[in-house]
Chains A and B, each alone.
Chain A
Amino acid sequence: MITNLNPALILVLGPLLIPVLKGNVRTVYTLLLPVLSFVQLYTLPAGSHAEVEVFDLTLMTLHMDRLSFMFAVIFHIAAFIATVYSLHLRDSLQQAIGLVYAGCALGVVLAGDLVTLFIYWEAAAVSSVFLIWARRTPSSYRAGMRYLIIQVISGFLLLAGIILHARAGGSIEFTRLDLNSPGGLLIFLAFGIKCAFPLLHSWLVDAYPEATETGTVVLSAFTTKMAVYALATAFPGTEILIWIGLIMTAFPIFYAVIENDLRRVLTYSMINQLGFMVVGVGIGTELALNGTAAHAFADILFKGLLFMSMGAVLLRTGKINGSDLGGLYKSMPYTTGFCIIGAASISAFPLFSAFVTKSMIMEAAAHEGLTLAWLVMLFASAGVFHHAGIKIPFFAFFAHDSGIRCKEAPVSMLIAMALAAAVSMCIGIFPQTLYALLPYQTEYEPFTFTHVITQLQLLLFSALAFTWLLRQGIYPPELHSVNIDADWLYRKPGAWLARQTLKSVASGEKGIFISIKKLSFEAAARLHRHHGPQGLLAKTWPTGSMVLWVAFLLGVYLIFYYLY
């Protein structure tokens, strides 16, 4: 198509027309945008294009290699599916913003330099937050505000990092960076916030579950995955990422077990899956990076599918807490089915997608002799089945019958879920199609007898544990509650501190103003006495005439001010 046109621009600018279109025209146009953008992507040659000069910098706004191509492909698939999913909406804002946001994320993975990366990075943050606010509840309003502030922190760290990196003699080309330089470290932290590193993760579990039904689906696909892409490009083989990733795989599953809001359970599960990808980046071998890319690809689909099924539940029942749901398989059989496919995929059942992607990362860890890492990931794999694979479908669709009878999800939602389920299963059954897209050549073979049997053992015995605990009454019941997480720090003591600062600064400023006013009145009064027309000092003034003029003017002015 058009030479050097960044496909991201199609997705960023195209949706501006959506609000003025109506009915079927709008539907067709909205669906066409990701398709057009994909065609444009497909015709682009590899390498860097679209130079732009800003200040004394040369930006490469478009850069294509195998890794960015792969992310660009899955971003298009996700954008298309999410668009289908949101077709039932009358609120054109959400459809438009969803595509703009997807376009910004696309811009990030196609950025050839750090400045372009920064621009799309920030634009993605700003556009995405509207998907949270669009729910229009008081809690989503505040959660969106917190979300935006944290995204802006990430953006500012990125900005500062890029500047320090460039100052230290680095080029602005987006390529491997050095973690041991201040600039590299700041960029690393900026990526880390978006990638939900431990303690920097709270925005994700705080805000995503507050978004609209469709908003969470869109959100789940892009922000964190573009961060994974950025980490894989800039920091492959950084050892600390292995440890960060391992903590990410392990700690959220504990929260997931006791969390009541099922979409929040899924956000914890997101961090868990991101953990695997981060470990893969940390290992940094070809197999590991392949695993990261492949798993990101698969995760976007099955996590999207799970969020879609929960979104449908929320839309139809108005409820999303495990304690309020149950027995919905009777009302929403198709949604139930799609949810189970998503659950099987995330749990890495043989023939489902994570089985052929996650295992690459674990295999890579084993090849490098990382015993502890491998064991933690095995634990997390059992855990993910436990909380995402079983808990989500079980408490929403089965468990005890909540008595809720509702309509099945709208057709557009079902189609979107079917699409995601189909692509996801395709990957699981024909992994070679996905492997062909990977950044490095691979001979990895997932379907060995050992792998299939051991994986089934792991999963089914996890299911056994769940069943046993549930039947014994040991399993923690779903309760109306919130669990404090890292966001407690800024929502409780942080907020208190902010209020105190606000109060004291405001009263301090007022006090200073009043005392200055008083001082100047006193000065005027004194001046009037001594320097006025009859004052002694007015008669002799030894310095140059200019100084005299200043004093004269000052005197006149102050007296005028005092009397007036």
Chain B
Amino acid sequence: MLRKQLRPAVMLTLLLCVITGLVYPGIVTGLARALFPRQADGSLITSADGAVIGSALIGQPFAKPEYFHPRPSAAGNGYDDTLSGGTNLGPTSAKLADTLIAQAVDSAIKNDGARKGSVPSDLATSSASGLDPHISPANAFLQVARVARARHADSSAVRAIVQKHLEDRQFGFFGEPRVNVLLLNLDLDHTLPVHPAP
């Protein structure tokens, strides 16, 4: 009885492996390339000289005061796309509460004039992927004054750019309001450059 079962087991393993493991991804790749080539390649953003400066979907590190900062990241040394992941620290972790969150809160108080108790929850915490491209609107508004100072620009001008980049819930209901940090910073460099172009 078992011998007779061996042939279908082996043959169907191989046949289904070809159909679902090669033909199917091939069909999807062909259709994706034809219909949505930009997305299929990673929604990449290129500079004027053709170099890839980022993906619209993947967060990247920003530390200079003249840029909006993304959330803390546990992916490698921060925003390492080959080491995606979160801190995986639990609710009673001393390291999470007393080191990671305490540091983020302190920095928001010192650099952005945040009040203790009103630090936006996304600002103090690491995302699940470590690559979160977004921050909350509250987080973005909190950083406006610092960015404006560093750029010797008017707060209202910076705030206007943030307003322009506020994304509402998708189709009005799905997800949460947010700001894409990379797109915001690129627009900022374009509209209010730190060093005027020579």
Binding between chains A and B? no
Q: Footprint of A on B, CB under 8 Å?
A: none
Interface residues of A (CB under 8 A from B): none
